[in-house]
Amino acid sequence: MNRRELLQSGTLVLLLGTAQIARGATILAVRVWPAPDYSRVTIESDGHLATKQLFVPSPPRLAVDIEGIELNPALRELVAKVKPDDPNIAGIRVGQFAPNVVRLVIDLKLPITPQVFALDPVAAYQHRLVLDLYPTQAADPLAALIAERLKDKEAAAAPAAPASAARPHDPLGDLIAQQTRKSTAPASPASAPVSGASGAATTRPEGQNQPQTSGNGKTERLIIVALDPGHGGEDPGAIGPGGTREKDVVLRLAHRLRERINATTINGNPMRAYLTRDADFFVPLHVRVNKARQVKADLFISLHADAFYTPRPQGASVFALSQSGASSSAARWMAAKENKADLIGGLNVKAKDAHVQRMLFDMSTTAQINDSLKLGNTMLKEIGRVGKLHKAQVEQAGFAVLKAPDIPSVLVEAAFISNPEEETKLNSDAYQEQLADALMRSIEGYFARNPPLARSRSV
């Protein structure tokens, strides 16, 4: 392009720019985050977008009119960004519906309860219009875990005995029934087999999930460890100098730890890992806590990777909740940083459940914190055998994600992703394996001293 053409196109851009400011906003980027829990479509723009929406139940589709914009290539990209295996979205159509009005039609695979909301600019993002598509019939995570365990048992005890004898007063059966009644998932918990967050097929509790019994007819106590891979979706977490994203390495670590947990029994009771997210999508902090409580988890372990402005800091840290201020200014800073995840990930603050649930989780207990400190200390000891420690003691601060009042909860910063050497380690299979082994040993060590059966459960 010569100088004259450049000048001309410059003028053209200038004219277009003026025209667009007069009309409204320009679409900068579009993103789709598919997950069994819900699928999200994000439209990022340089100004606030006014919308009108209409949900059509049959066949299920959501029409959204965005006013004050023209169809542009960024917006057209949405069509190709939907993956065939998206659990909720069948496809997206876009068109210029009227001058200055673009219509999106999202064709859905199942009935959906949509949440459409706007987010103000934050961190690296400009204005975001968010379309969250929740299955109207939410999956039941506890039923999924139990179904998964049953499948394993049947496979192990082939030829499988027919699971037909219902035991109406079995505690596990009651637990499932209670879970169904108490479910506070964003969408109403009705009955349909939907793929659960753990990736397992969900079966309905009523009559289909038989309580498990061991050979002598004694009921098994399923020991559930909630693993909480930090960040996800719009929130990448910390990013290393080589471009490694915290949300990716911690999900891989969670998968490795899940394998180990699912292969372990404690005093004859089988263990199961439950992941608060098993894909790349945003889960609000209070929802992570709520999910762990829904499955009545015995432990909650949030997995993260640390970052600092300079490359030198290194080593792992473990945090527990604090009732009376942070144990150090570094811990306070870290909690404030992690608590920002909702802002970046994109929380719908107007959603009914958000406020109430966050209030509920402000009732931390001394017993929970004491148990968390025990777990944390065991973890530091075990992680110290395979890698460096940033702090030799468990630190405490007001982490929102550690606020389940009845579940010992720790947050592990596995290493500093901002340190080039540790970024490489976090990416390496060998170190991930070592870390997962260390975390598994600490879980077993904790249960050896604090048997899960001795702990009373508030249901």
Residues that bind Zn ion (CB under 5 A): 230, 237, 304
Which two tokens mark 304?
């993260």
Cβ 231 to Zn ion shortest distance, Å: 6
Tell me whether residue 256 or residue 304 sits nearer to Zn ion (CB atom). 304
Nearest distance in Å: CB 375, Zn ion: 19
Nearer to Zn ion, 125 or 447 (CB): 125
Give the separation between CA 79 and CA 158, rounded to whole angstroms.
46
Answer for the pair 256, 196: CB distance below 8 angstroms, yes or no. Answer: no
Nearer to Zn ion, 200 or 305 (CB): 305
CB nearer Zn ion, residue 211 or residue 230: 230
Smallest gap from Cβ 331 to Zn ion, in A, equals 14
Burial class (CB within 10 angstroms; exposed 0-12, middle 13-18, buried 19+) of 101: middle
230 versus 408: smaller Cβ distance to Zn ion: 230
**133 vs 347 by CB, closer to Zn ion:** 347
Q: List the structure tokens of 456.
A: 């009373």
Evaluate whether 317 touches 384 at the Cβ level (below 8 Å). no
CA distance readout (Å), 445 to 107, 273, 321, 380, 433: 49, 17, 21, 12, 18
Least spacing, CB of residue 41 vs Zn ion, in Å: 25
The DSSP string of 26-92 is: -EEEEEEE--SS-EEEEEEESS--EEEEEEETTTTEEEEEEET----HHHHHHHHH--TT-SSEEEE
Residue of closest CB approach to Zn ion? 304
- Helix, coil or strand: residue 326: coil
Cβ atoms of residues 412 and 302 within 8 Å: yes
Q: Which is nearer to Zn ion, 86 or 338 (CB)?
A: 338
Least gap, CB of 304 to Zn ion (angstroms): 3
CB of 232 to Zn ion, least distance (A): 10
CB of 230: closest distance to Zn ion in angstroms? 4
CA distance 376 to 132: 35
